[in-house]
Amino acid sequence: MQGRIFNFVSVSAAVGILFLFATLWNLRSRDVLYTHLEEFEKVTPTQNTTVPEDVLADNAEITEPTAGATRPSFLEIATKWGTDKVTVHHYNYMYEKYLEPIRDKSLKMLEIGLGCDMSYGPGKSYYTWQEFLPNVDLYYIEYDKECVRKWAQNMTNVKIYTGSQSDVDFLDKFINSSGGGFDIIIDDGGHTMEQQITSLDKLFPVVKPGGMYFCEDLQTSYFESYGATPGAKTMMGVIQELLNDLNVNVQGAPPLQHEVGREMRSVECGEEICAFFKKDLGNTEVRT
């Protein structure tokens, strides 16, 4: 009888240890990493995985898809979460065209701007991407460190780096830490000319061959408050120069105006947004 009791206790203890390791591994996989320049910290999310009510749009409901049902589009998901990507703006046309065909792939994606300066608060695009891209390895760059400290507790499976997108030294550290190699980069950051131009120059080179870089809110190229002053170079001006670079393909033509043009395959623009596409492997010839 004592042997049976001992065996029962031993088995129970072993099961308990296995359950403890499984729990710790699960928490590890849900950690959120954010870094402020050279400062690295891990933030453990709260145990409550319920989406905060203030993150949802007023008319949003979380529902489980029914068997055989058509899954929601980017527009439907973004509308549910309340991001201005589909309310104030109409970026859904661009994202549905290029991201819908690859949404089930394993994708490494960076978005600049968590939404800390938005009137409705941060996190709207984060929840949108998590739902729309089920296998995404998601990264963020956000300037507001205190906002990240607060909102990281409601976020899982994401790496958040705090720093300025116009700070070249910070971007170099981010590239070294993240390893680059992004399938998708989206600039929805501060929208100033310096920020948009610097980010494209530094981050387009770490887009994977065949990958995509999107720049939102291009209407700021016409606002002096964002640096579009008379005589200043604007993001739309850079895009015009990149289009010229793409068409400089004759002997004796002038050299490229932008280094990123060497690996750029094409540019497509919509309302307040442009997409920059990187050449595939095997089509990265050097242009002078």
Same domain, 233 and 146: yes
Average per-residue pLDDT in the chain?
A: 81
Domain-located, residue 97? yes
How crowded is residue 91: how many other Cβ atoms within 10 Å of its Cβ? 24
Distances from the Cα of 276 to the Cα of 57, 113, 209, 214, 249, angstroms = 30, 19, 12, 6, 18
pTM of the model: 0.78
pLDDT of amino acid 119: 72
Are residues 8 and 91 part of one domain? Answer: no
Model confidence at 53: pLDDT above 90: no
In a domain, 104, yes or no: yes
- Enclosing domain of residue 2: 1-30
Domain count, the chain: 2
Overall average pLDDT of the 133-152 stretch:
93
The confidence band for 16, taking pLDDT boundaries of 50, 70 and 90, is: low
pLDDT band at 282 (very low <50, low <70, confident <90, very high): low
Q: List, for residues 173-231, the tens digit of each pLDDT value.
A: 999 999 999 999 999 999 999 999 999 999 999 999 999 999 999 999 999 999 999 99
182 and 258 housed in the same domain: yes
The verdict on 138 and 3 lying in the same domain is no
**DSSP classification of residue 206:** G
pLDDT, position 223: 97
CA 107 to chain CA mean position, Å: 10
Q: 281: pLDDT confidence band, cut at 50, 70 and 90?
A: low
Whether 36 and 25 map to the same domain: the answer is no
* 111 and 219 housed in the same domain: yes
Q: Residues 183, 228: one domain?
A: yes
Q: Which residue has the higher pLDDT, 192 or 281?
A: 192
Q: How much is the pLDDT for 48? A: 37
Answer whether residue 288 is part of any domain. Answer: no
Q: Is residue 284 part of a domain?
A: no
Residue 45: pLDDT above 70? no
Are 180 and 72 in a shared domain? yes
Give the pLDDT mean for 25-45.
Answer: 40
Q: What's residue 167's pLDDT?
A: 96
- The tens digit of pLDDT for each residue in 87-142 reads 999 999 999 999 999 999 999 999 999 988 777 778 899 999 999 999 999 999 99
Together in a domain, 158 and 176 = yes
Q: Which two tokens stand for residue 64?
A: 């489980």
**Whether the predicted pLDDT of 71 surpasses 50:** yes
286: in domain = no
Compute the distance between CA of residue 159 and CA of residue 141 in angstroms, rounded to an integer.
9
pLDDT score of 35 more than 80? no
Alpha carbon distance 114, 257 (integer Å): 31
User: Alpha helix (H) ranges present in the chain?
Assistant: 2-29, 74-81, 92-98, 124-132, 145-151, 168-178, 193-203, 235-247
Together in a domain, 3 and 52? no
Q: Is the Cβ–Cβ distance between 39 and 46 less than 8 Å?
A: no
With 50 as the cut, is the pLDDT of residue 27 above it? no
Note the pLDDT of residue 152: 82
Q: Judge contact between 144 and 117, C-beta under 8 A.
A: yes
Whether the per-residue pLDDT at 51 is higher than 90: the answer is no
Residues 186 and 237 in one domain: yes
